[in-house]
Chain A
Amino acid sequence: MKTVPSPLRRLASDYGMVLVLLALGLYFSAVTITTHQPTGKDAAVQVAARVRSGETVFIVTRRTPEDAAYVEALQTALRSRSVSMAATVQGEPRDARIALEQLNTGTRPLDALLTTSDCATWTILKDLTNRFPNLGTPSFLTPEPHRWPTFLTRQNLLNVANQIAVVAILAVGMTLVILTAGIDLSVGSILALSAVLTTALLRRWGGPDASTGSQFLASGLAIAGSAAVGLLSGTLVAGFRVPPFIATLAIMQIASGLAFIVAEGSSIYEVPESFTILGRGTGFLGVPNAVWLMLFLYAIAHLLMTRTVLGRRIQAVGGNPEAARLSGVNLPAVLLFAYGFCGAMAGIGGVVQASQLKSGAPTYGQMYELYAIAAVVVGGTSLAGGEGRVLGTLIGALIIAVIQNGMNLTGVQSYQQKIVLGGVILGAVLLDLLKRRAQKP
């Protein structure tokens, strides 16, 4: 008796959507290939490789952050290869002339002139051999342009992840609720409530001068409040057996109303600059903090669903509530947890959104519940409950993000994008149905 089916087959059936994601990535890579001018470190590595050791070089660039990174990386690379750097200039053509005049007073010729393709057009450099005969005829080394898909650049990929982070965080909680055969329509409103709660508290506690401690406290309170709203939905569903659709539709209205009341109907901008670290800053490996947070939450939820008793019970409640109850599962407790967790995730989403936009407004999160549900469904979780995976939802969210990003890059209009997205959601549901039909004997 084998314990598990072959891992490859399992991967295909569980995470077949990964293949879809890869295919989409390949497609958008293929259609967005254009000429790229390397800058910064990438450019330095390329140029340094063309310098032979023992040569004497002259480095000249403009004074921009990108060029500074280029120069710094160049210097590091060349120093280790005993290349002698006669001079380094960061500035205007005038600065280059002064430096060159000085070098020209010596007798040592230059072997190479390291610069950018932009500076290479300066007349002072073009005229070099005539005006500074002592320097010989150095070769010009500039970063070579190359062809590469815009979609597949590091910056764009990080963009994709960053843009979907908030919806993906909502979708984690939504996955748990949908696994219990429920649905939570209130996550968008809870997000708005959380965002205005956080910013309103920050405004009260000093506005732009609010301390780090009060930022944490404000976020924590907003998330706790969001979890409480989720628990309220859970109580309606578990305790009073209100159908989840209706219960959370009501809570959606209530939470939205509360958000408008807290914000007094307008946006709140009085937040400290440091509050944007979560939403706009980047962390380890240059990946945005919001993306790290999203990945962390998915890891936690994945562990919860695959490795813990509670996770197993959530699946069982969605698969067959009566059988679960008769097996000793505390049904109300499981449902309360799922809705409370979903509320907390929406709360975290609200804090991230407020941090990204450096403000809180009661209009945030509109339609987000539908995007979250779409991510869950595209990720292969059954709306009937009891079947699905948290990581599937992450894939689902990324698929939606990649399609949106890809269409933006290829200039598809936003109206048409909606139609494509709708088609993708339908396709995912049809695939799920077909899979289910094939499984039935």
Chain B
Amino acid sequence: MNPRPLLSLAGIVKSFPGVRALQDGRLELRPGEVHALLGENGAGKSTLIRILAGALAPDAGSLLLDGAPVHLRSPHEARRRGISVIFQEFNLVPAMSVRENLFLGQEQASAGLLHHDAERKAAQRLLDRLGATFHPDTPCRDISVAEQQLVEIAKALLHDTRILVMDEPTAALSGREVDRLFGIVRDLRSQGIAIVHVSHRLDEVFALCDRATVLRDGRHVFTGNVSELTRTALIEHMVGRSLDAEFPRRHPTMGPARLVVRNLQRGTAVQDVSFEIRRGEILGLAGLVGAGRTEMARLLFGADRPDSGTIALDGIPLRIRSPRDAIRAGICLLTEDRKHQGLVLNHSVLENFGLPNLSRFSSLGFLRQRSEVAALRTYVDELRIRIPHTDQRVGLLSGGNQQKVVLAKWLETEAEVVLVDEPTRGVDVGARFEIYQLLHKLADAGKAVLMISSDLPEILGMSDRILVMHAGRITGEIADVPQATQADVLRLATAESLEPAGPTSASTP
């Protein structure tokens, strides 16, 4: 019943200047298991993974591989010992082909000359094993995120990996891609490989994982069989307190339509999209990655320009040619990619907060920093943003706190239309609940809220009405959300049985 552990970490301690990232990190892996590594942001998961990857050396603690103590001095050594880590940010050279990426650092060559054919054959074998359909000579920048992930997995297999660590592997994948990934993971498990699955999505833990380890505040708090766990129990382990519900309750009161969008079009990404958001409504926008949801939101915000279509707020047509116009018109967009589009990471919380609001905090072009700080402080209290001081670099904050800073900067613009794209991606459970409460508060204040999310429980739990997009079009609407299931949303999102159809004909009752 209890096979000998393949790897066991115990008492791992790791400190950074000013932060104790891990105080008691523990992890035990058995061959042929999928092991969930869970915890809120800042719990120490990333640090533990980086120690496993050989990228960080622990200050104290033991690491046993096959029962023998080892020191992983470099990523190279970790790989040599059969440990591969796939980080969220892939380590691929975009301009190089899949094959070149696979063999980067261990090129098949003699006397410095590459054996292209041998490489190509080996690459093809690996890709076939993973069910990949792209050619090994395709440049990596030309394949999708899901396919790049396959390349990363193939790279790990090429190194005779026995332990494969995947950091939030499903964060950027659509439903079907997730299914395929899980199929591959199960296949690898049957070959005796131990897989560590790091994720914020509890559904995945129950669907895929055999055992789970939970970290909290740098300490190990729980390890056990997933089959003996409930969702609530798992969340309580992670946050360290009992939760009443995953989503806050709310009784929406809705008014007339505020934002009215008609026939919005941009290439093939967004085709003939029409909808409206009512006063006080949270409109959920579901769909697979690449369905055109983000692209549509960017059109509303002026980040890209539509080919055609109209946007009106409270009956007044808007001319939006840039984000500046949108902000002036009262529209804000919380982007899905917080780090690259939402924040200037190496700048302070204050500077990020002020960026879209500088005209409010200045006179004659000169900043009035005192009023800026005062405004920020009200949000720090209201949103419970945990920062040591307002000059803290935003890049050093946890995902949840970063997201709160982005929310604060947009709330301060007093936007009437709030577009949020994956608002809880990379945000821990506790902060998630607070963000949900905030969205409710905005809707209750009469604003029009559009929430894009790939997290189906979130879409179902938060929306007053759900629109589903597929291939650039709106393929359905779910008006009676409490009665809808994840399957209903998925059916509309994949739109397999549906030929191009209007929004109403595909709606569920």
Contacts and interface: CB of A to CB of B under 8 A. Distances in A.
B391 A312 contact: no
Contact of A308 (B21, B326, B366, B387): B366
Contact of B347 (A5, A316, A330): A316
Interface stretch (A131-139, A147-155, A317-325): A317-325
B347 A319 contact: yes
Interface stretch (B225-233, B284-292, B356-364, B426-434): B356-364
Contacts of B359: 309
Contacts of A2: 388-389
9 contacts: A1-B380, A307-B367, A312-B355, A320-B345, A326-B323, A326-B341, A326-B342, A386-B346, A439-B393
B390 A312 contact: no
Of A307, A313, A320, most buried by chain B (CB within 10 Å of CB) is A320
B327 interface: yes
Nearest to B19: A441
B373 interface: yes
A224 B397 CA distance: 45
Given A326-B323, A330-B324, A319 B301 contact: no
A235 B344 CA distance: 24
B355 A316 contact: yes
Interface string B376-410: 01001000000111110100100000000000010
A309 B388 contact: no
A438 interface: yes
Contact of A3 (B17, B354, B367, B390): B390
B345 A309 contact: no
Contacts of A325: 303, 322-323
B389 A4 contact: yes
Interface in B325-370: 326-328, 333, 335, 340-347, 351, 354-356, 358-359, 362, 365-367
B362 A308 contact: yes
Contacts of B396: 439, 441
Contacts of A320: 340, 343-345
Contacts of B365: 308-310
Contacts of A313: 355, 358
Nearest to B338: A323
Nearest to A386: B346
A1 B390 contact: yes
B405 to A, nearest CB: 12
Contacts of B333: 326
B391 A4 contact: yes
Interface string A1-40: 1111100000000000000000000000000000000000
B275 to A, nearest CB: 22
A38 B285 CA distance: 84
A386 B351 CA distance: 11
A387 B341 CA distance: 18
Contacts of B328: 328
Contacts of B303: 325-326
The list of the 7 closest CB pairs from A to B, nearest first, reads A319-B344, A327-B355, A320-B344, A328-B327, A327-B356, A2-B389, A328-B324
A327 B21 contact: no
A320 B377 CA distance: 24
Contacts of B380: 1
Contacts of A310: 365
A4 B396 CA distance: 16
A324 B367 CA distance: 17
Given A309-B365, A386-B346, A441-B396, 4 more contacts: A1-B390, A322-B340, A326-B303, A386-B344
A1 B341 contact: no
A278 B356 CA distance: 42
Interface in A304-363: 307-310, 312-313, 315-316, 319-320, 322-330
A310 B367 CA distance: 9
Contacts of B340: 320, 322-323
